[in-house]
Amino acid sequence: MIAQILFIILTLSAIGLFAFNAKKVIRNIRLGKAADRFDQPQKRIMTMLKVAFGQTKMFFRPIPAILHFFVYAGFIIINLEVLEIMIDGIFGTHRIFGGLGPIYNGLIGSFEILALSVWLACVIFLIRRNVLKLKRFSGVEMTAWPKSDANYILITEILLMSAFLMMNAADAKLQALGHGHYVTAGAFPVSQFLQNLLPDSASSLVMIERGCWWFHIIGIFAFLNYLPYSKHFHIMLAFPNTYFSNLEPKGEFTNMQSVTNEVKAMLDPSFTPEATEPGRFGAKDVNDLSWVNLMNAYTCTECGRCTSVCPANMTGKLLSPRKIMMDTRDRVTEVGKNIDKSGNGFDDGKALLDDYITREEIWACTSCNACVEACPVNIDPLAIITELRRYTVMEESKFPASLNVMMSNVENNGAPWKYSPADRLNWAKEN
């Protein structure tokens, strides 16, 4: 009973702490402005199934895609065993589903094979990051914490899978000895090879089996509560992020309703403008962005696929789309901490623009959408860059001098070119 009570307390505490921290993240996301992403539900569901569940965009890079699929499948399927662990922990049973016979044997056997694949994939990922040091995992934004964060998760996965296999190995050996409540249940195609590493003493085997059982479940709870502080929160946010992703043509410029009203009023004096919320043009800080932009930031996996295909970054310019998302997440997290400490309305004198993201970065962007296309979970860094640009132009009238000619041509000719509208088709005339 003591073990059961401890388990229930641990479970409730872990779930409660996760809910508390997840609620903060949701609160931070809701600091963003309203955005209508509830249209076309069928298309959105299909996008989520294809991109988040099916991971179709991952397979543009086949090797990491296959490795990630093993980790993804292992995470989803092996954790089905957590259901059995939870029931056993609460009611004091052992392998409660063992009575399923051959079905249970098949499940445990498949879990072990997946556990081994997860273990190997995580080892390969560690080698890619820390030995081969792939360029995609480097950059000015990849400071000590982002690199450590990735390693912590990979090492945790390896330890959890090792504990799972060692627990099964000890359990199988106790079953063979006919010890206590260790009834014959399960198939062990992988952990059978670990049994020779274990002692023959039943008491020692029970200690190993119970120790690995507790380590496995405590590790899962610790992993759960680490997620809100880690880039690996994408495990949960990838699904809503792809559901609410932009279904319009990539790069299509959004109009501000207030500006649209002014233009329509100029063209038609009888026009009655729609009511709009007061606010600035574009975005200076995270609360000027939409909640979708902020959810994008929390969903970022820091994989670097966006930066690796960015033409501006390739030519040595300061822009890194990954940094845009990481900076946005860091800033909105900071704003959330300020709210927790000092309440709503507290001004720390900082802003996303200038304090986190420089003007050189936003003007280096070519608006090509390569980063949006490359992201495996449909994150849109360009949307944030566009809003920051809009603020600098429409609120501050500040932009690179090289754009002056283009701005003047748009104002005078209605197009970026120096030709008047009447001369625009002269090139098509016969000589």
Nearest to 123 by CA among 78, 162, 154, 165: 154
State the pLDDT at residue 241: 97
Tokens of residue 80, six digits: 């089905």
State the pLDDT at residue 224: 92
Contacts of 401 by beta carbon, 8 Å cutoff, 6+ apart? none
* Residues facing residue 33 across a β-bridge: 290
Tokens of residue 411, six digits: 């104002």
Q: Is 274 exposed, middle or buried (0-12, 13-18, 19+ CB in 10 A)?
A: exposed
What does the pLDDT average to over 187-198?
A: 93
Q: What is the C-alpha to C-alpha distance for residues 193 and 349, in angstroms, rounded to an integer? A: 60
State the pLDDT at residue 417: 84
Nearest to 396 by CA among 333, 356, 351: 351
Write out pLDDT tens, residues 378-401. Answer: 999 999 999 999 999 989 988 888
DSSP 34: P
Give the Å distances, CA to CA, from 118 to 34, 107, 132, 158: 40, 16, 20, 8
Answer yes or no: is pLDDT of 279 > 80.
Answer: no
Q: Where are the domains of the chain?
A: 2-30+61-230, 257-416
Minimum mean pLDDT among 157-171, 261-275, 299-313: which range?
261-275
Q: What is the C-alpha to C-alpha distance for residues 400 and 89, in angstroms, rounded to an integer? A: 63
Give the Å distances, CA to CA, from 12 to 16, 60, 90, 224: 6, 41, 11, 13
pLDDT band at residue 252 under the 50/70/90 scheme: confident
Sign of the torsion formed by the C-alpha atoms of 368, 305, 35 and 360: negative
What does the pLDDT average to over 225-237?
A: 93
Nearest to 218 by CA among 15, 5, 4, 10: 10
- Could you tell me the maximum CA-CA distance found in the chain, to the nearest angstrom? 99
Give the Å distances, CA to CA, from 182 to 79, 134, 162, 234, 397: 22, 47, 21, 38, 75
State the pLDDT at residue 351: 96
Residue in this structure with the two tokens 């970026």, named with its chain if needed: 416
pLDDT band at residue 278 under the 50/70/90 scheme: low
Write out pLDDT tens, residues 53-84. Answer: 999 999 989 999 999 999 888 877 777 788 88
- The neighbour count for residue 54, using CB atoms within 10 Å, is 11
Minimum mean pLDDT among 19-28, 109-118, 238-247, 406-415: which range?
406-415
Sign of the torsion formed by the C-alpha atoms of 159, 113, 230 and 24: negative
pLDDT band at residue 431 under the 50/70/90 scheme: low
CATH number listed for the domain at residues 257-416: 1.10.1060
Count of alpha carbons within 13 angstroms of residue 394, beta-carbon side: 16
Sign of the torsion formed by the C-alpha atoms of 145, 147, 150 and 152: negative
Tell me the DSSP string of 242-288: HHTS--SPTTPPPPPHHHHHHHHHHH-TT--PPP-----SS-SSGGG
Sign of the torsion formed by the C-alpha atoms of 339, 344, 350 and 354: positive
State the pLDDT at residue 327: 97
State the pLDDT at residue 349: 92
What does the pLDDT average to over 336-351?
A: 92
State the pLDDT at residue 128: 94
Stated length of the chain: 431
- The neighbour count for residue 314, using CB atoms within 10 Å, is 11
Nearest to 171 by CA among 196, 200, 205, 194: 205
- Quote the percentage of the chain above a pLDDT of 90: 70
3-class secondary-structure state, position 290: strand
The two counts, helices (H) then strands (E), for the chain are 18, 0
The amino acid present at 373, given as its one-letter code, is E
pLDDT band at residue 422 under the 50/70/90 scheme: confident
- Please calculate the CA angle 116-118-120 and round it to the nearest 5 degrees: 70
pTM equals: 0.89
C-alpha gyration radius of the chain:
27
Our measurement of the distance from residue 266's CA atom to the centroid of its chain's CA atoms, rounded to an integer in Å, reads: 44
- The neighbour count for residue 181, using CB atoms within 10 Å, is 9
